[in-house]
Structure 1
């Protein structure tokens, strides 16, 4: 069985809007009240997936969730007409598009039972995300239904917050070999909440049957959280033997590096110094919220990063120097995901990494050029062109959003998720 890394991107849903619901996410809060473009957003996401396919990478996807979430509203004894604006916006949120928060994934080579384990994230720190897990779990159970190869777990129970793979990294000689799993948790973030609790990370490690000697728990820097790095993947990313990180990503970086090297000596740690790229630059450009991938043909590594990184002189200058030298990142691939970026999610936010044999996954969730073309037609026809926050209570918009999602489900043979 050939194990490869599959990037599962969240299709940006037709209810994509800028309500500014995510405390600590500077892009989301600074753009609150702006007019969003759901159609353009979803097409940008599809184009990013096409880029991956053309690089020879395995690509999957997840469907948008049903929005507004009427079941969640009913639990609050309210509906879209009578809900207060912040509750209405939370019910309408398309934030499940950021699939990095869908789950934490431990590949089969790391687990005692030799199966790939996936744990749906509870996302309980933010109201608008706390009700995602039911729809996410349904998709995970469908996509990874083959119990010979996968184990799908429900979320960690309250009060322990879990934000999924956005606070998780894996280092390994190659994707198909046993690796070192790193859970990054927070304690405090100044004015902003630390969203990943160490108790959640430990619970997931136990459920995934990981070897304690090959499992690390590292504290995220409080300074980074306060600067807007609400998830670790805003300041660090790992791929195979490479850890690419900002100097201020971890609370005790030298201790973290020493422990990583002791567990996996072949690790190459690429540290971007704060005097070259500040935390403010890192957060604004989402330099680290990039897909660090191994190119199948050359075996070299590429960084798929937002165009905002190319527009930042400090960030792009450092990257060009790295590529010109002998660093492990050999290629820079900017992609346009501006609509997602304006809501606080870069290329890495949009994808969940699963190491598996693509043949063992439900093929309805595996992308190819033809399938993406069909999706693009549906999105161009049905997704709203724009949404202003004051439209969220509009009955016609609700009907359009729900009709659009049903059309995509139908086109992809996934009406069972309706």
Structure 2
């Protein structure tokens, strides 16, 4: 790749649109915010507009921004697979009466958190010079296990050009290959156009002898396995010199850090992390330093500055870390960071005043997502693309002022302002959602990707 090609490489954040059935059902075990807010009334319209406003503000600031559609919900097909029969309305009514928790599962709008959509290796790092995609199987929770097939179709519809992109099958949906996608994967490098080192973080090991010093959490499940991370790396052709596999600290998982991106965020050469992020902190940093071509810039937040409770409640480390042309970085944090005195003080006195590239902190209101345990970083899937690859994208998925206007109007037409768990049985909600999604695929020009469109 020429120097001109390298300079054109950009990171594009593809944010997930909040779906019409966004609700608080408390489905995610180990996700403290999700469990604490289960049963509350949600506002799908506000959630979708908050997400779009975040995308628009980052686009206006000069960052490349993309859009990914939500899943088809309620997933009535899943209910039929589980033995419910009759018309759609009858299926919903019976599920509501006999298995209300299942109904909540098939209505989950969790696909908004596209950091879990899959793992991506940019063409710069791949042996065949193509971008590689593996949808996450998300087998650790049933409501997310329902996503990968549609996710795969969406990714193939957008990254369609086989000259530039390669798509891999979802890993076997078994506990041994439990894969949560890019929420446990970080690419570190100098500039985006330079070769990178891929940090895969896992919670447990499924096969063989457990590595020296490893242990598992006791309170909440470890969702990512070492074997899953290794399999994705093999699919993408990554070598030992390009990868680092590190175990997430089990005490952090037990404190509610269900993914690594709740306790660490990296971009370019910067790794912002809490001291409790990795079980072997020094070993992880040493291996990254050895394998990276550019110097690693670790930004460590000690436990004495930010407690685990504050880290989980504020989602400081689930912020977006964005690269600027002048070498500085912007940290996009949720509004909850301002509500925790220790967190806000750490941002001002330690991050902004520290010897690191973080020069700006931007606060965004994503409360509808945060109440279900998803901050700014959960809402985006990072894809590093060359200029030619950006030009090869299919559909109308890179955000522009016109697309933002169209999507905002679409939300205003189709979304409800109030949704309680009991409302999920309303057959009209299902009809509204299908109508909205059918129109959305036309707006985004991605073709049929949903089960109801495929027949």
TM-score of the aligned structures, taking structure 1 as reference length: 0.97
Which of 80, 85, 93 pairs up with 2:92? 80
2:164, 2:440 → 1: CA distance?
A: 28
1:300, 1:55 → 2: CA distance?
A: 14
Which of 15, 25, 33 pairs up with 2:21? 15
Post-superposition CA distance 1:113-161 (Å, at most 9, x none): 1111010000000010001001100000011111111111121113111
2:285, 2:309 → 1: CA distance?
A: 23
Contact 1:295 1:301 in 2 (8 A): yes
1:257, 1:413 → 2: CA distance?
A: 43
- Are positions 1:367 and 2:414 aligned together? no
Find the residue that maps to 1:299 and give its secondary structure: coil
Post-superposition CA distance 1:10-42 (Å, at most 9, x none): 000000000000000000010000000000000
Find the residue that maps to 2:404 and give its secondary structure: helix
Structure 1 segment 63-142 matched on structure 2, within 5 A: 63-78=69-84, 79-83=91-95, 84-142=99-157
Which of 220, 227, 235 pairs up with 1:207? 235
Structure 2: tracts of 5 or more residues without a match: 85-90, 205-215
2:173, 2:442 → 1: CA distance?
A: 35
Contact 1:406 1:415 in 2 (8 A): no
Which stretch has the larger CA shift, 253-262 or 166-175?
253-262
Which of 51, 65, 72 pairs up with 1:45? 51
- Are positions 1:382 and 2:414 aligned together? yes
TM-score of the aligned structures, taking structure 2 as reference length: 0.90
Which of 342, 353, 364 pairs up with 1:335? 364
1:324, 1:364 → 2: CA distance?
A: 40
Which of 326, 344, 364 pairs up with 1:316? 344
Aligned to 2:67: 61
Shift of 1:380: 1.0
1:308, 1:96 → 2: CA distance?
A: 22
Shift of 1:415: 4.8
2:109, 2:160 → 1: CA distance?
A: 25
Post-superposition CA distance 1:355-397 (Å, at most 9, x none): 0132122242211111011100110121111100011111122
Structure 1 segment 164-313 matched on structure 2, within 5 A: 164-187=181-204, 188-264=216-292, 266-296=295-325, 298-313=326-341
1:138, 1:52 → 2: CA distance?
A: 27
- Are positions 1:411 and 2:443 aligned together? yes
Task: Could you list the structure 1 runs, at least 4 aligned residues long, displaced by more than 6 angstroms after superposition.
Answer: none
Contact 1:16 1:93 in 2 (8 A): yes
Aligned to 2:375: 346
- Are positions 1:34 and 2:40 aligned together? yes
Which stretch has the larger CA shift, 9-18 or 83-92?
83-92
1:144, 1:407 → 2: CA distance?
A: 21
Post-superposition CA distance 1:62-108 (Å, at most 9, x none): 11111111222222122322221111111111100100000101111
Aligned to 2:87: none
Find the residue that maps to 1:303 and give its secondary structure: strand
Shift of 1:112: 1.1
Shift of 1:405: 2.3
Q: Which has the larger radius of gyration?
A: 2
1:386, 1:375 → 2: CA distance?
A: 19
2:226, 2:203 → 1: CA distance?
A: 7
Contact 2:44 2:416 in 1 (8 A): yes
Shift of 1:212: 1.3
